[in-house]
Amino acid sequence: MVRITVRDPERMHELGRRLATLLTPGDLVLLSGELGAGKTTLTRGLGEGLGVRGAVTSPTFVIARVHPSLCGGPALVHVDAYRLGGGLDEMEDLDLDVSLPESVVVVEWGDGKVEDLSDARLHVVISRTVGAAAGPAGAEDADDVREVTVTGVGPRWAKEDLSPLLV
């Protein structure tokens, strides 16, 4: 598990780019964090790092959006789990125009809904820091500081070195 302090949206974007370097086809990345935590910002950097087509935006009006690769790599499938009532199994029924085992799947999951998931996954939790960790009281950018933890679950991640995520 690695823990990263991310001070502004640009650095969150950059973390997404670094995360992309670790990902291979078939990987599932679960992003947890409240609304406005920075899940979509991270995914935007990830899409840029993967070299996929199309602007990554909040998948608010669709359950999942497919971004094909522009460089022969895996597509990015960006999922809003709030609309995926039945859990990840339901994804197989979405009839996406892409093979999930050949794609990188990123799910914006929101808080506290992952307990019943046992799939191999990279779990990224983004939280707003409070108090001392956010810097001096009254610092004007204190609200921007995020604490990100990245944890690999399952054998896929057991031997993977997550240190490239650290600056």
Contacts with Mg ion by CB under 5 A lie at 39-40, 58, 108
Query: Across-strand partners of 152?
Result: 122
**What is the distance between the alpha carbons of residues 50 and 106, in angstroms, rounded to a whole number?**
12
How far out from the chain centre does Cα 21 lie?
Answer: 13
Q: Which of 2, 8, 18, 82 binds ligand ADP (CB under 6 A)?
A: 8
Instruction: Kindly tell me which of 8 and 48 has the beta carbon lying closer to ligand ADP.
Output: 8
Q: Does 32 contact ligand ADP by CB under 6 A? A: no
The phi-psi region of residue 135 (left if phi > 0; otherwise alpha if psi is between -120 and 50; otherwise beta) is: left
* Residue 76 binds ligand ADP, judged by CB under 6 A: no
Stretch that binds ligand ADP, among 4-12, 67-75, 80-88, 93-101 (CB under 6 A): 4-12
Decide whether 43 or 73 has the Cβ nearer to ligand ADP. 43
Listed ranges 28-36, 77-85, 95-103, 130-138: which one lies at the site for ligand ADP (CB under 6 A): 28-36
- In whole angstroms, the minimum distance from the beta carbon of 125 to ligand ADP comes to 11
Query: SS3 for 21-68, per residue?
Result: CCCCCCCEEEEECCCCCCHHHHHHHHHHHHCECCCCCCCCCCCEEEEC
In single-letter form, the type of residue at position 40 comes to T
Helix (H, G, I), strand (E, B) or coil at 6: strand
What are the b/e assignments for 95-126, b being 16+ CB within 10 Å?
ebebebeebbbbbbbbeeebeeeeeebbbbbb
Closer CB to ligand ADP, 35 or 154, in the complex: 35
Q: Which of residues 148-167 bind ligand ADP (CB under 6 A)?
A: none
For residue 123, state whether it binds ligand ADP (rule: CB under 6 A).
no
Residues that bind ligand ADP (CB under 6 A): 6-9, 12, 33, 35-41, 58, 108, 144, 146
